[in-house]
Amino acid sequence: EVQLVESGGGLVQPGGSLRLSCAASGFTFSGYWMHWVRQAPGKGLVWVSRINSDGSSTSYADAVKGRFTISRDNAKNTLYLQMNSLRAEDTAVYYCARGPCDYWGQGTLVTVSS
Amino acid sequence: QSALTQPASVSGSPGQSITISCTGTSSDVGGYNYVSWYQQDPGKAPKLMIYEVSNRPSGVSNRFSGSKSGNTASLTISGLQAEDEADYYCSSYTSSSTLVFGTGTKVTVL
């Protein structure tokens, strides 16, 4: 059974940093691109970032470019999102999703507030 | 990276058919057959309903179907049921090797 479990969310002050993790199981993690998608409270889905299967290629939404870094450890079957210089508008539930977005994690809430 | 345009809400009576549109540009919806549709219940993760414009994942009811014409993709739900009430989002691959989601549509079963 495919499982994606996010962790690392929480309350952080503006300007602070947070690292999200997404533990994958039930499939060959190293064979899939992975995505991060976020959803602000009461709002729609917004794509954040993606990484290819071996980690050699990444893309970011303009809103997070230069502040967020996506990475992966295929030996640990884990996807990461390093978030720096956080802003109030980054407050959202962050989901990781497998390749064609066919499987999603349950999400982890990031709240940026003083 | 502007969001794809969806109607804010669509409603129908049980048994009826409804269609949700998803309008983009030639750099996303119109340029690739990588349009997907997701169903999201409140407080839950999105669930893939349609991929590559018109393909249904295993386990998804055949009451859900997808199509595309030019820069607009569509999701049709036939034989509407109370359990179909949810938010629906489209997504598309883009010419920048990114993904873009739609603005979302709330489906109400009257």
A11-36 pLDDT, tens per residue? Answer: 999 999 999 999 999 999 999 999 99
Quick one: pLDDT at residue B45? 96
B40/A62 touch (CB, cutoff 8 Å), yes or no: no
Determine the residue among A4, A38, A47 to mutate to test chain B binding: the one whose Cβ has the most chain B Cβ atoms within 10 Å.
Answer: A47
pLDDT tens for residues A54-75?
A: 999 999 999 999 999 999 999 9
A44/B103 touch (CB, cutoff 8 Å), yes or no: yes
pLDDT tens for residues B36-91?
A: 999 999 999 999 999 999 999 999 999 999 999 999 999 999 999 999 999 999 99
pLDDT tens for residues A35-54?
A: 999 999 999 999 999 999 99
| Number of residues that this document lists for chain B | 110
Shortest CB distance from A102 goes to which of B57, B89, B101?
B57
**Both tokens assigned to A79:** 């996807």
- Which is nearest to B107 in space by CA: B45, B37, B57? B37
B1/A45 touch (CB, cutoff 8 Å), yes or no: no
**Both tokens assigned to B50:** 């349609």
Q: Which residues of A touch B47 (CB under 8 A)?
A: 104
Q: Which residue of A has its CA nearest to B98?
A: A59
Q: Please, what is the average pLDDT of chain A?
A: 97
Q: Region A66-87: what's the mean pLDDT?
A: 98
Cβ–Cβ contact A101 with B under 8 A: yes
Asked whether the predicted pLDDT for residue A99 surpasses 90, the reply is no
